[in-house]
Structure 1
């Protein structure tokens, strides 16, 4: 009798113990966001790291953590990878025809919805055994770790959470403007992740500023006229409509990102043109289907988190459903871009074309400011409306270029070579000093922003003087880049000076804009006099120029400069763009 009671007690203790462990484990798996009483809290960097480390220990077969490079604050970038098959080698996964979905969180830590939503989603997918069969999920836990550590309430117009990170990183860079210039170590680590795992689909989670309206979430997708046509046909007709449909069914109806044509959305909204400096624009250069969620700043934080969760789950489900199709479209797009001849370098809105879409907003008006007494804008949430508005979503290429057979990059421009390596651009080095006949550009004119933008004085409105059949000496070790690659868009759009986000636009080649040699006037006067006597054609050219320009005719120094610039004494490399274009093999 005593033994039976004792055994029953042991069983009871074990049962209670297992129940306590189960309760403890379930509690431990709750995110800091979920543990907060009002769901108005976002996890700190330390909490994010600890959470994923604990989760990885519980699910070692299907979840791995990888650290890449270093951010500007000195901490590595953590990638959370979920693989149902337990394979975590990206090369093997590609051979197995698996798709890769890369989700980026916290590029702006003041917009942290994706951080908290991803923590919950990874747990639920693992706990409920709902990982997709054909899609490997890669989550960047917190991209801008630097800004995440700088915690406060700097986005004063935002409704929650109670505290959050800062937009700029440790170098005060906006990382969502850094995907081409890659000034930050964060961007270099991202490129390593992106080009190692080679996703077919990219999602970058954000929160928006701007107008007030009824939607919790708006969406940016790669602009259809800027996207590869093969991918644009699928995203515009299948993937995006399905995302809108599923989000509405999940209680989070969406609209395209709200960038008003005029002051208020009623005037119409304009499709966001995400150039290559942005994550989605960078993704488009690599033929990756790219989205950016934008939850609304004024909605309660918990709704923004759950909307982001719902969007990610919807995207995962569609990617699983269309896994084979997405893979085949990516292969087709890569092959098409490798053969493509003409590339757009800049785009402009076609304001004559628009669609009519249903929009749910709030009536807006003006009233006297309590501060200044002057008129100020306000939105009246007591007056919601549903109406048809114009959606401007057509862009035209304003500058195009035909690709050369190859570009030749002098090894002196090592930063470009390093970025090309990170982006898996195939390059060959010259094996000996060689004089090649190439097409070269001279920078004829350009404008420069008067104030720095993300650490650079951006150039724009670049005009070029093109010289064909120019014999240029290149040296052993210089780089030959053939334009028969899937990453041609990245190659062409960065190397062509007129590209909106080209390396020239970002100031990578500014040293060519400065003249290095000149002359002493009193010495060159005699040299120029003698040169004109032996070169009558230049004398005629000078006389014609003086007849057409009275300022030149009245300035001795200007005439001397004219002779100098039209003589062999003038430095041939001044304003010459150093990257050559090889037009024939």
Structure 2
């Protein structure tokens, strides 16, 4: 694809490392990137402000760049002025660096080119120049084996070998903790995180993951599908960058259709959706040369800024309606699955997939024939349906012992009120009846899934200092529900924050408990009747003395109250607990 010349070429002193390379195959180092923004901030202090925004695991700080036409860098003041906030984050995977270079160029052009100043009249732009500072410092030329340039780049993992685009909910890294504080500070209307794809070969330079509309509040999902996405696709087409939804086939070729990406809250756009922020991950195509990938990213970010300004009122209306709808919402989805009964149709520009013998194994291998391009209609499955839901409680009660969880909740906007005295109250608790655990570590955790719960209403005593989180209209309700309900895909239970309750701390010696169990059954005919019924229904159980003894123990007063009991309680009362 032929690149259109820049409308106004920058002066030599303001060219980025990417622009200074005639081959267009160089991305800035971390030091070059930060120094460039510092230079901009010094030269244009009324329009561009740069500050440190918290630590990262590398030991170097995260940075925040704010562009505002009136120089206002205060989020509260910005909201009072009814300005939209566009938050752009780059370098979460520093081996995918297009956004780093494109944002440097865009920030410069916004302050240097008078005809672009109008783009900032109603929109404040917040840029994180490099999110994964750690990975950007780990520069190499080999780890992105599937990618066509640049000559050298950063590494996907951070200093703790974490993929930060799986860390938005659990926040193991200092990077994620600093990001959360920055995100909560700005509460952006639109969030963009720049990426490069992996996967199939096709004609497009730019593909796009948008927040899954089925997961957004209805007002936001309708606005996204009906107004925002059509404008973005049209704008990119006009800039000579035809765009397609992120290419994710079932298989490697499009015959069975494109499938929309399900971004749960571990991912940036899934996290943003919990706070009624529409998120985007533009994904340039890995096999295109680096220069067109940077220019496509630049034009996407510019198109986004143009569109947010043009649709400012519609965005504000949709977010206000989403907030009002959430205030009245009583049931929330926790997990999702693709609805294959519904699909759209897109005109997809691809290359024919063929096979030939592998030079390595001699076996058939896939390749894409660039001599055989095609444009044809392809099914696009872009609707998800909930598979689990939870009713909204009045409040969650979290014992003060779970300090790590409490810290994460506070960092993400939750208000936690400590009990002033011991309180005994009826609450809903969950017993963890069954779950599956991944056999291998995933991002430092062994994930739980397929969680089966047994809810029970019990009278529980909570102690002075235990924390109550009320789900008021001002609370981050959806965030709280999707982290504190164990069945949610990315709940704190799923990530293993409560694993210690899954192990018994006391048990019995069978030869001692045999007599205790026999006495329990004599004194409780109903318990004995349940046992006999189970033995009749399950012959294997009926012939297993140890299993029967365990069953009696688990259904007796001797069972540990805390074993397999999820420690976060749901309070369904009114007013304030204990009042």
Residue of structure 1 equivalent to 2:6: none
Cα distance in structure 2, aligned partners of 1:362 and 1:323:
38
Provide the C-alpha distance between the structure 1 equivalents of 2:221 and 2:524, rounded to a whole number of angstroms: 58
Alignment of 1:474-553 (within 5 A): 474-485=462-473, 487-553=476-542
Matched, 1:36 2:21: yes
Offset at 1:411? Answer: 1.3
Q: Which residue pairs with 2:327 in the alignment?
A: 338
For residue 425 of structure 1, give the secondary structure of its aligned residue in structure 2. Answer: coil
1:135 aligns with 2:123: yes
The structure with more radius of gyration: 1
The residue aligned with 1:172 is 161
Which residue matches 1:10? none
Matched residue SS, 1:542:
helix
| Segment drifting more, 337-346 vs 478-487 | 478-487
Match of 1:100 among 85, 105, 125: 85
CA distances 1:350-387 after superposition (whole Å, capped 9, x unpaired): 11221111011111111100111100000011111111
Instruction: Say whether the 8 Å CA contact 2:269–2:279 is kept in structure 1.
Output: yes
Select the residue among 70, 76, 83 that pairs with 1:85: 70
Query: 379, 393, 416: which is aligned to 1:404?
Result: 393
Measured after TM superposition, the shift of residue 418 of structure 1 is 1.2
- Distance in 1 between the 2:299 and 2:70 partners? 24
Deviations 1:49-93 (A, max 9, x none): 111111111001111112111100111100111111111111221
CA-to-aligned-CA distance 1:452-511 (integer Å, 9 cap, x gap): 11111111111100102x101111111211223352111101111000111111111111
State the match for 2:289 in structure 1.
300
In the TM superposition, residue 427 of structure 1 has moved relative to its aligned partner by 2.5
Q: Over the residues paired in the alignment, what is the CA RMSD in angstroms?
A: 1.3
Structure-2 residue corresponding to 1:3: none
1:440 to 421, 429, 446: 429
CA contact (8 A) 1:339 1:484 kept: no
1:334–1:487: 8 Å Cα contact kept in structure 2?
A: no
1:567 aligned onto 2:552: no
Which runs of 5 or more residues in structure 1 are unaligned? 1-24
Q: Structure 1 residue 359 and structure 2 residue 348: aligned?
A: yes
The farther-off stretch of 378-387 and 541-550 is 541-550
Secondary structure (helix, strand or coil) at the match of 1:435 reads: strand
Q: Secondary structure at the match of 1:225?
A: helix
Pair 1:238 & 2:223 matched: no
Q: Aligned with 2:105: secondary structure?
A: helix
Match of 1:39, SS state, is coil
Counterpart of 1:473 in structure 2 is 461
1:143, 1:186 within 8 Å by CA — same for their partners in 2?
yes
Aligned residue in 2 for 1:110? 95
Residue matched to 1:211:
200
Whether contact under 8 Å (1:443, 1:575) holds in the other structure is yes
Provide the secondary structure at the position in 1 that maps to 2:100. helix
TM-score, structure 1 length as denominator?
A: 0.94
Question: Which residue of structure 2 aligns with residue 386 of structure 1?
Answer: 375
Taking the TM superposition and a 5 Å limit, the aligned residue runs for 1:30-69 are 30-69=15-54
- 8 Å contact kept, 1:220–1:291: yes
Corresponding residue number in structure 2 for 1:317:
306
Contact 2:54 2:63 in 1 (8 A): no
Correspondent of 1:554 among 515, 532, 543: 543
Aligned partner of 1:9 in structure 2 is none
How far apart in 2 are the matches of 1:312 and 1:536?
A: 71
Note the alpha carbon deviations across 1:143-174, whole angstroms, 9 max, x for none. Answer: 00000011112101100000100000000100
Cα distance, 1:532 vs structure 2:
2.8
Pairs aligned (count): 560
Any conservation in 2 of the 1:435–1:473 contact (CA below 8 Å)? yes
Corresponding position: 1:582 with 2:571: yes
Contact 1:40 1:161 in 2 (8 A): yes
